[in-house]
Structure 1
Amino acid sequence: MTNRVPASLYNIVQAPPKEGPALSVVVPMYNEAENAGVLIEEIATALRGKVLFEIIAVNDCSTDTTAAVLSGLKERFPELRPLSHGQNAGQSRGVRTGIMAARSPVISTLDGDGQNNPADIPALYTALTRDGAPASLMMVAGERQKRRDTAAKRYASRIANGVRKNLLGDDANDTGCGLKVFYRDAFLRLPYFDHIHRYLPALMKREGYEVEFLPVSARERLYGQSKYTNFQRAAVAIRDLMGVMWLKSRHRHPGSIEEL
């Protein structure tokens, strides 16, 4: 019988238990049956012996055998907790589903296509949780170096990142990098919308949090092909960018909060 996330998780934010993993790795997947096994093994290899962790792989109602592959991996990888959407809801919803189900106060996200290298997770986790880190530091985000995408995709990404960075002032050179490590509680304070995963640095800064960036490696997709074209990305990005600009313009920060 398939274990399901309690329905209450979709309406009530539940705090992670006091005793549990130190890091929850959340991986949204849609039609990634060929990539799933390789990626889960890479994550486990990168983290075992370094930190107590769990892997939450969220199958976004794939039409291939992704769900079956993930279910079959549980015996080999006891850290793995596969979840599955009843209908396709997109990457951002997959990320949010995994974060709401997470049992750790610290989250790492990465894309399910294998382009993010799990070997980079420990460095981001260490930077976020280091002794002496600023109290307001809530996220360390990866910035891909020497990307392996097509020239057209790299050019489109460079233009989009430049426009977004100028309009939002988020200091992010590569907000499209799926590899990020952040505190669960900080994420759940952010306003949720589809494609939120591309605007996390800007939204974190909107809440008054600090964000740091570290270089990470970039790889070609392990198997399969991208789910989006440059035109599809651009069409959605314009609308989302206007929405995030509106959210920033309507935000007022209290400065400090004291109990009297």
Structure 2
Amino acid sequence: MQTPRITVIAPMKNEAENVGRLADEIAEACAPLAPFECIFVNDGSSDDTSGAIAAARQRHPWLREVRHAASCGQSAAVLSGVRAARAPICCTLDGDGQNPPSEIPRLAAPLLADATGRIGLVAGQRVDRQDTASKKLASRFANALRRTLLHDDTRDTGCGLKAFPRELFLQLPFFDHIHRYLPALVKREGREVALVDVSHRARDAGASNYTNIGRAMVGALDLVGVWWLIRRRKVAVVVSEDA
């Protein structure tokens, strides 16, 4: 197989009903970006997500599965997908179908065109978010607090639609829920963040694996930790190097 230009990564936990549609939409959206590959990371699902992925692979030979023995969370699933990726650019989206795959080319375009290597992240920001009022309110509060402390200038870091250089992601300090702090961590590395407004849609099948209270509890600790990482960052400027 040709080396893919991009790898699309979708974390999945108990998303058997969403696998087929998502794979078909990725096929249509990414056709202009060929060659590409897609990795569905099965994060310890207890339903037939693995069987649904196997069925989708019969139609789409570029589709791969990475399977966790037990559920480790979204960030760990993204990391497993990035480690397994064969392309220099990775694009992520949620496995629940709420992130339209049609947005993937818009995320990949700035990185594919970036000859300077300055861009370290293209982050989607949801417009007209299709979620419950309580979830949107909790997200709005968390985003405002994060922007105040981290100065990452990003309206919506919780959006699953993101694109980044594989090599850079693997250099970042990893922790659970890192996906919500990628803009701040990428800027910490001296790289630019490009923001793209993206559409959002309601979940058609399955159930959310998150609660507002659970997100708030881990988010408070993560926010302090990322704030500390940014303040402790030192960049050495090399003025000479012997061969």
TM-score by length of 1: 0.89
Inter-CA distance 258–188: structure 2 relative to 1 (3 Å threshold): farther
In structure 1, what is the Cα distance between the partners aligned to 2:62 and 2:191?
30
Q: 2:171 maps to what in 1?
A: 189
Distance, in Å, in 2 between the alignment partners of 1:99 and 1:258 is 33
8 Å CA contact 1:208–1:253 kept in 2: the answer is no
Give the unaligned 5+ runs of structure 1. Answer: 1-16
* Residue of structure 2 in register with 1:242 after alignment: 224
The answer for the alignment partner of 1:163 in structure 2 is 145
Deviation, 1:49, is: 3.2
Map 1:31-50; keep pairs closer than 5 Å: 31-50=14-33
Q: 1:151 to 1:20 in 2, by over 3 A?
A: same
Structure 1 SS opposite 2:152? coil
1:4 is matched with: none
Identity over the aligned pairs, expressed in percent? 50
| CA distance, structure 2, for counterparts of residue 255 and residue 195 of structure 1 | 31
> 1:113 corresponds to which residue?
96
Secondary structure of 1:188's match? helix
Structure 1 residues 35-86: Cα deviation after superposition (integer angstroms, max 9, x where no partner): 1111111111101133310000010110111011112221110110111011
For residue 201 of structure 1, the aligned residue among 177, 180, 183 is: 183
State the distance in 2 between where 1:256 and 1:171 align: 29
| Aligned mates of 1:98, 1:26 — CA distance in 2 | 6
Residues 55, 80 of structure 1: 8 Å contact kept: yes
1:90 lines up with 2:92 in the alignment: no
- State the shift of 1:255 in Å: 3.8
| Count of residues in correspondence between the two structures | 242
Matches within 5 A, 1:45-56: 45-56=28-39
Quick one: distance in 2 between partners of 1:120 and 1:162?
25
User: For the residues of structure 2 that align with 1:255 and 1:68, how far apart are their CA atoms?
Assistant: 51
Post-superposition Cα deviations, 1:173-222, rounded to whole Å, max 9, x if no partner, equal 00000000110011011000111111111111111111110100011112
Q: Distance in 1 between matches of 2:155 and 2:83?
A: 28
Q: Report the equivalent of 1:25.
A: 8
- Residue 228 of structure 1 and its aligned partner are, at CA, apart by 1.1
Aligned-partner residue type, residue 145 of structure 1: V
Aligned partner of 1:122 among 96, 105, 118: 105
Tell me which amino acid in the other structure corresponds to 1:159: F
Distance in structure 1 (CA, Å) of the matches to 2:116 and 2:143: 26
Looking at structure 1, the residues matched to 237 and 112 of structure 2 have their Cα atoms a distance apart, in angstroms, of 24
Tell whether the 8 Å contact from 2:5 to 2:33 is kept in structure 1 after alignment.
no
Equivalent of residue 73 in structure 1, options 44, 52, 56: 56
Structure 1's consecutive aligned runs of 4 or more residues displaced over 4 angstroms after TM superposition are: none
Cross-structure match for 2:40:
57
Which one has a larger percent helix, Structure 1 or Structure 2? 2
Offset at residue 257 of structure 1 (A): 6.7
Task: Give yes or no for contact 2:19–2:56 (8 Å, CA) kept in 1.
Answer: no
